[in-house]
Amino acid sequence: MAALLKIDLSSTVPAYQQIVDALRALMVTGTLRAGELLPPVRQLGLDLGIHFNTVAQSYRILAEEGWLDLRRRRGALILDRQTPIVQNEAKLDQLRLRIGQIASQLQAEGLSAGEVASELRQLAEGMDK
């Protein structure tokens, strides 16, 4: 069965960021594998009912991260990204900060520190599969 991409247009997160996050999650968990083609920008924009440039922006971000090889009119090829690209410490710090913020938010919603840790562990284990 083909993987699905879901976005919420009423979310405060911009549509392009939702696409980037969703696709990255699918590639990290192995739902989308190296060598597969993502649909062309026009097809995805049409199906989601959003502007083609929004999808193109998401693809560009993922290409810069090393996930995609953009092919004109044919879609985007998912690359084998076993070896991480050169690590950007500043970006990693930014992401660590985001995880911290999300963890605090989860605690503020009533989860204990242990439960938050368990949630993060589950996510990490999902990525290893």
Partner 1 sequence: MNTESLMMILPAALVGILMHALPLLSRREIFFGVTVDPSFVPSQEARRILFRYRVPVWVASLATLVLLWIGISRHLNFLVIASLFAPVVVSFIAWARAHKQVLPHALPASTVRVASLSTREEPFPGGVLFAIGPVLLLLGAACILYLRSSRGAYAPILVGLCTVVVILLQCYWMLRRARQVRTQGAAAANERTFKRVTVWVLLAAAYGIAIVNARNSLWPLAGVSLEPLLRFLPIAVMAALVLILVRIGQGGSRLPGGGGTDDQRGDATPDACWKWGQLYYNPDDPALLVEKRMGIGWTLNFAHRGSWLILAAAVTLPLLPRLLR
Note whether 25 binds partner 1 by CB under 8 A.
no
**Closest among 90, 100, 94 to 120, alpha carbons compared:** 100
**Closest among 33, 60, 47, 34 to 5, alpha carbons compared:** 47
Q: Judged by CB, which is closer to partner 1: 2, or 90?
A: 2
Q: Please, are residues 26 and 3 in contact by the beta-carbon 8 Å criterion?
A: yes
Smallest distance, Å, CB 119 to partner 1? Answer: 23
Note whether 3 binds partner 1 by CB under 8 A.
yes
Task: Give the integer Cα–Cα distance in Å for 50 and 46.
Answer: 7
Task: Give the integer Cα–Cα distance in Å for 87 and 91.
Answer: 8
Among 32, 56, 62, 68, binds partner 1 (CB under 8 A): 32
Q: How many residues bind partner 1 (CB under 8 A)?
A: 29
Task: Give the integer Cα–Cα distance in Å for 11 and 114.
Answer: 29
> Which residues in 42-101 contact partner 1 (CB under 8 A)?
42-52, 75
**Closest among 55, 47, 10, 3 to 29, alpha carbons compared:** 3
Among 26, 61, 63, 70, binds partner 1 (CB under 8 A): 26
Among 25, 28, 37, 79, binds partner 1 (CB under 8 A): 37
Smallest distance, Å, CB 7 to partner 1? Answer: 5
Interface with partner 1 (CB under 8 A):
1-11, 26, 32, 37-40, 42-52, 75
